[in-house]
Amino acid sequence: MDDLKKQILALSEVSGALEPSENERNKILKEVQQYANIFLNNLPTTKAYSSEKAKKEAFSITSEVKPLQKLLEIYNSEVAAKGIHPASAGHLGYIPGGGIYSSALADYLVDITNEYAGLSFASPGAVAMEHELLDWMKSLFGFPESAVGNLTSGGSIANMIGLTSARDQHKIKGAKIEKSVVYLSPQLHHSCLKALRIIGLEDIIIRHLQLDSNSKIIPEDFSEKLQKDKENNLKPFLLIASAGTTDTGAVDPLKELGEIAKKYNLWYHIDAAYGGFFILSEQRKKLFDGIEMADSLAVDPHKSLFLPFGTGAVLVKDKEAVFHSHHHSANYMQDAHAEVSRVDPADVSPELTKHFRALRLWLPLQLHGIAPFTACLEEKLLLTRYFREKIQEQGFKVGPEPDLSVTYFWWPQDENEDEFNKSLLREIHKDGTVFLSSTLIEGKFVIRLAVLSFRTKIETIDRAVGVLVEAVRKLS
C-alpha cells in the first residue's frame, strides 16, 4: 500500500502542472492580456489579408515544455498574421462580425468555470440564461412563447435543426423522398443544401425559383411551380427563403412567400443567419414583414450581433417535430431526466455535449445595452451606401441597391471584362490592406463587398476605395 501511495503522489506532483498557482495564473494572464492589447492596438494598421502560408513545423507536438511567450509568438506569426483576418475592420469579403471584446471575456469565464449547458439538471443557470436569450429572440421575430430554440455553433447547425424538423413533421422518409419537393433560391446559402444531404434527403426534388432583378424570389414563380408539382402527384413540403442572402444581401418577399406556403401546408424555413438582426434597425424593419410566419428560423449572433465565431441560433414552432429526432434518453442520464424543467438544450440539437454559449451574448447585451448594436447595424447600412456612391464617382459599375450591407460591383471594360475584374481582385488580395471577395451574378464575375464588422468605419471604406482606384490604375 505504501508503494502504491508513493506512485500516486509522484504522479500527482507531475500532473500538478495543470493547476497553476494564483501567482502563476496572474503571470500567464498578464502575458496574454499584453498580447491581446498589442493585437487590438495594432489592428487599425494591420493588413486584412495575407496570402502567406502557415509553417506546419511551427505547430509540431513534442515532449518539450515551451514558455508561453514563445507560444504567443508562434500564434501571432503563424495564425493571427496569415490568411484572412476576421477581426480586422478591413475584412470586407465575407460576413464576419469582428468579435467584440466583452464576448471574449465571457468565453474566458465560461472556460474557467467549465459549465455544461446541455441539461438544466447539470447547470440550471446556464440553461435559464439560454432560454432568456431565446425568449428575447422569439419576441424580436414574432414567434410564440411555445416555440423551442437552441443556441448553436452557427447557421449550419441551426439550418439543419430547422430542416430536420420539416422532414419529421411531414414524415419524409423511404419511398416518399424521391417524390418530395423543396423550393429555394439559387442564391440560398449552401449550408441548407448540405443539411438536406446530411439528414438523408439527397434524393428529394429541388426546385430553384426564379429571381427578380434584385435577386429576390418571385412569389408567382413559386406558386406556379408548386401547383404544377401537385398536379403531377408530387409532394411539395418545404420552402426555404432568405432574410439576407450571402451573394447580394437580398431579403426575399417573406410575407408573400409565407402566405403561399401556408395555403398549401408547406413547412416554411427562413435562413436569416446573416440578416436577421437587422430587424433591430428602423431603416430596415419593414423588410422583415412575414418573418413571424416561419415554421423555423436560423439566425447568427456571430454575424449581425458581432460576436466571435461559434454562435448561431434556431427557433422552431413545432416542439414535437424537433423532439422526434433530437430528444433521447439513456440509463446513465436518469437523474437528469427525473427533474422537470423547461426544454433542455440537448433535446433540440444534435449536441449532447454543449458549450455554454449564452454568456457570450448575454454579457455584452447587459454591459452595453441594445442601442450600440442597433447603431452599429444602421452605420453599416449607411457605409454600404457611401461605398456605392464613392466607387461610382470613380467609374465603377454597381449592382442594384442592396437590402442590407452586401453589394457587388465591377470595373467596366469593352472586352474581357470578367478577366480584368479577376485580375483586379487578385491585385487587391496582393495588396492586403482590405479583403474583398467575388461571386457570379447570372454568370457574370463581380467583386463583392460585405460591411458587417463592428470595427469597419468610414475611414475603412475610404481606404478600400483608394485601394480599388490604385489597382485599376496599375492594371490599366
d(CA 404, CA 156): 21
- Per-residue CA distances from 52 to 85, 88, 246, 429 (Å): 12, 17, 26, 11
CA 452 to chain centre: 12
pLDDT band at 1 (very low <50, low <70, confident <90, very high): confident
d(CA 330, CA 179): 36
pLDDT band at 23 (very low <50, low <70, confident <90, very high): very high
For a pLDDT cut of 70, what percent of the chain falls above it? 97
Mean pLDDT, the chain, rounded, equals: 94
Residue 307, number of CB atoms within 10 A of its CB:
26
Give the per-residue pLDDT at 329: 60
| pLDDT tens digits, one per residue of 449-474 | 999 999 999 999 999 999 999 999 99
Based on the number of CB atoms within 10 Å of its own CB, is 312 exposed (0-12), middle (13-18) or buried (19 or more)? buried
Terminal-to-terminal C-alpha distance of the chain: 84
d(CA 131, CA 369): 18
Backbone φ and ψ for 196, nearest 5 degrees, come out as: -60, -40
| pLDDT tens digits, one per residue of 289-332 | 999 999 999 999 999 999 999 999 999 999 999 999 888 765 44
Reply yes or no on whether the pLDDT at 89 is more than 60.
yes
Based on the number of CB atoms within 10 Å of its own CB, is 322 exposed (0-12), middle (13-18) or buried (19 or more)? buried
Q: Which residue in this structure is represented by grid cell 431565446?
A: 134
User: What helix, strand, coil percent values describe the chain, rounded to 5?
Assistant: 50, 15, 35
CA 369 to chain centre: 22
The whole-number average pLDDT for the span 137-153 is 97
- Number of helices and strands (H, E) in the chain? 16, 13
Give the per-residue pLDDT at 332: 44
d(CA 261, CA 252): 14
Reply yes or no on whether the pLDDT at 337 is more than 70.
no
Q: HSE (CB half, 13 Å, CA atoms) of 461?
A: 24
- Residue 209 contacts by C-beta under 8 Å, 6 or more apart in sequence? 183, 184, 185, 186, 217, 218, 221, 222, 225
| pLDDT tens digits, one per residue of 236-289 | 999 999 999 989 999 999 999 999 999 999 999 999 999 999 999 998 999 999
pLDDT band at 48 (very low <50, low <70, confident <90, very high): very high
Give the per-residue pLDDT at 7: 93
| pLDDT tens digits, one per residue of 408-453 | 999 999 999 999 999 999 999 999 999 999 999 989 999 999 999 9
* Domains parsed from the chain with CATH numbers: 108-368 (3.40.640.10)
Reply yes or no on whether the pLDDT at 335 is more than 80.
no
For 14-128, strand residue ranges (E) read 49-50, 83-84
- Per-residue CA distances from 263 to 211, 237, 256, 317 (Å): 21, 12, 11, 17
Contact between residue 120 and residue 342 where contact means Cβ atoms under 8 Å apart: yes
Instruction: Report which of 47, 57, 122, 31 is spatially closest to residue 87, judged by C-alpha positions.
Output: 47
Give the per-residue pLDDT at 352: 87
Give the per-residue pLDDT at 476: 86
Instruction: Report which of 314, 306, 249 is spatially closest to residue 96, judged by C-alpha positions.
Output: 306
Q: What is the CA radius of gyration of the chain?
A: 25
The whole-number average pLDDT for the span 337-359 is 82
pLDDT band at 341 (very low <50, low <70, confident <90, very high): low
The length of the chain, given as a count of residues: 476
d(CA 306, CA 379): 13
Q: Which residue in this structure is represented by grid cell 424580436?
A: 140
pLDDT band at 338 (very low <50, low <70, confident <90, very high): very low
Report the DSSP beta bridge partners of residue 235: 180
The whole-number average pLDDT for the span 334-356 is 76
Alpha helices (H) in 312-434, listed in sequence order: 319-326, 334-338, 358-368, 371-393, 417-431
Read off the pTM: 0.93
C-alpha cell at 44: 487599425
Based on the number of CB atoms within 10 Å of its own CB, is 62 exposed (0-12), middle (13-18) or buried (19 or more)? exposed
Give the per-residue pLDDT at 342: 73
| pLDDT tens digits, one per residue of 147-158 | 999 999 999 999
Strand pairing of 312-316 and 148-152?
antiparallel
